[in-house]
Chain A
Amino acid sequence: MDHMGRFERRHAIALWVAREILPHESAVRALLRRLRLLPQDIDEVIQDCYCRFAMLEDVDHIERPRTYFFSAARNIAGRRLRRAKIVPIDSHVAMDLFEDSELPSPEQVAGGRLDFLRMRHFMDALPERCRRIVELRKIEGWSQKEIAAHLGITEKAVEKQVWIGVKAIQRAWREADTAVSERLAAIEAGGQ
């Protein structure tokens, strides 16, 4: 595969992840929390899941991305728990028991949208210069090059603002996922 082929494949998988995987991350984190994984372990399991997704050649064969994400997380978490030897009594059982309905429930769909709406909210919270550029890029759909020409700055300067934007978005997702998964876990715990 040439460099553009790799670039396109990476982009296609990232789009798929944005659409089909990210909205479920908080639910997966809530599962891991219920399995009593420590917060840093949860982060690592999630990261391992993304590593696995990054290795995919293509995603067309994955019919149920949500289920796929859950089982990836479950397998990885299971390996960790076994390796750790300190296995909470119920984790193996719970690991298998966890709901795995193939369709996301409406609250999860809403949760995904919520994250999206939150993202927009976070965009508003970006530093002025960065926000301006992120908006032109995302809402107006201009290329970095066009933005540079429009604002009379170098392309490197635009790229730097995009970088700031990406870092802010990463942080926002992490915070939102942690908060939402805590809430989901609380709901589940309250219901048991």
Chain B
Amino acid sequence: MASHNDTARDEAALWVARMDAGVWDEHDESELQAWLDVDARRSGLLLQAQAAWLALNPAQNLAREAETPPPRVYRRRSFFALAGTALAASVAGGLFWFDDSTRFTTQVGEIRRVPLADGSIAAINTASQLNVTVAETRRSVTIDRGEAWFQVAKDAGRPFVVEAGSVRVRAVGTAFSVRRYDNGAEVLVTEGIVETWVSGAEQRAVLLKAGQRAFVNETLEIKEESAPPSSIDRALAWRGGNIDLAGERLSEAVADLNRYNRKQIVLADPALGDERFDGVFRTDDPEGFAMAVHSSLNVRVTIADDAITIGSAKK
């Protein structure tokens, strides 16, 4: 089977070489057709080989860069302008290289995972914006809004500091998330230890270990709690595009889901908000969530173009 495939692949390459000669008559076409007809998979092999060959064309013939939509990353200095071997070398490591600050923005419902220049990884949640600077002596991230989780590459010489309003979180090599709120930030630690404090009060920093979460208040109040690992995993399910509920109140679940979608869910009957709910849902599937509520709580669900209404208002 494998050898049959290898043979067919080599024959596909031969056809590509023949087509590449630029001379093509009816006889060639019918011979090729006969070859293709032997096995349905051959058309795919031929296409793959022809595309691979055409991909060797100089880039300007292939890439219609002017026509492609602008990427959602905005850089203060153009990354692709730094073409050449430095680019090739950094990309080859699977890393981004930028010696300047880079801004990442996600739209509502968008979740992105981005490798950073130092080998760290950021997962950026819905409707968020952050600036990342990887410099020689420091790595800093500013969360303008939203939430991100970081897996920080170990580098004792370059502390990794996240700023969310006046809240600061520092890590050396660890994994944690920071969600910015109007009045503070929530920090969840999945690996290692981080240090968190409020700007101007570094002497009152608090250490958080894996499995701990803390809400850090802009007025210097730090509330920490030890959370069972499963609850942290669940709280970070968004990295896989999920919302993981285990007995959350319906009102909280709806608020959470509404972070990800323009089509908002409305609880028409406020009493439903106290119902407890379980299950794993897609962040981008509010309809699916509403239907699950419908079937498990036996309430009415109305799906319109702009909103989903759960329950009917009590007369």
The contact of A145 among B21, B43, B94, B240, by CB within 8 Å, is B21
Cβ-Cβ contact count across A and B, 8 Å cutoff: 189
Give the chain B neighbours of A192 by CB distance below 8 A.
Answer: 239-240
| In the A-B complex, the 7 residue pairs with the closest CB atoms | A50-B44, A51-B44, A3-B29, A14-B50, A54-B43, A17-B51, A163-B17
**Chain A contact surface mostly:** helix
Pairwise interchain contact B56-A47, C-beta atoms closer than 8 A: no
The number of chain B residues touching the other chain, given as a range, is: 35 or more
Find residues 19-72 in chain A having any chain B CB closer than 8 Å to their own CB: 19, 21-22, 40, 47-55
Pairwise interchain contact B49-A166, C-beta atoms closer than 8 A: yes
Give the chain A neighbours of B57 by CB distance below 8 A.
Answer: 18, 138
Pairwise interchain contact B121-A190, C-beta atoms closer than 8 A: yes
Complex Cα–Cα for A94 and B113 (A): 16
| Chain B residues in the interface with A (C-beta under 8 A) | 2, 9-10, 12-14, 16-26, 28-30, 40-41, 43-59, 62-64, 69, 71-73, 79, 88, 91-92, 94, 96, 110-115, 121, 123, 149, 151, 239-242, 280, 282
Give the chain B neighbours of A190 by CB distance below 8 A.
Answer: 121, 151
Give the chain B neighbours of A73 by CB distance below 8 A.
Answer: none
The contact of A160 among B17, B51, B59, by CB within 8 Å, is B17
| Chain A residues in the interface with B (C-beta under 8 A) | 2-4, 6-7, 10-11, 13-15, 17-19, 21-22, 40, 47-55, 93-94, 96-99, 101, 103-107, 109-111, 113-117, 119, 123, 134, 137-139, 143-145, 155, 158-160, 162-163, 165-167, 169-170, 172-173, 183, 187-188, 190-192
Given known A-B contacts A166-B49, A191-B113, A18 and B151 have beta carbons under 8 A apart: no
Give the chain B neighbours of A53 by CB distance below 8 A.
Answer: 44, 47
Pairwise interchain contact B241-A119, C-beta atoms closer than 8 A: no
Other A-B pairs beyond A17-B51, A96-B282, A162-B21, 16, CB < 8 Å: A3-B30, A4-B24, A14-B47, A15-B54, A19-B62, A47-B45, A48-B41, A55-B43, A97-B282, A103-B71, A105-B112, A110-B91, A116-B59, A143-B22, A144-B21, A159-B18
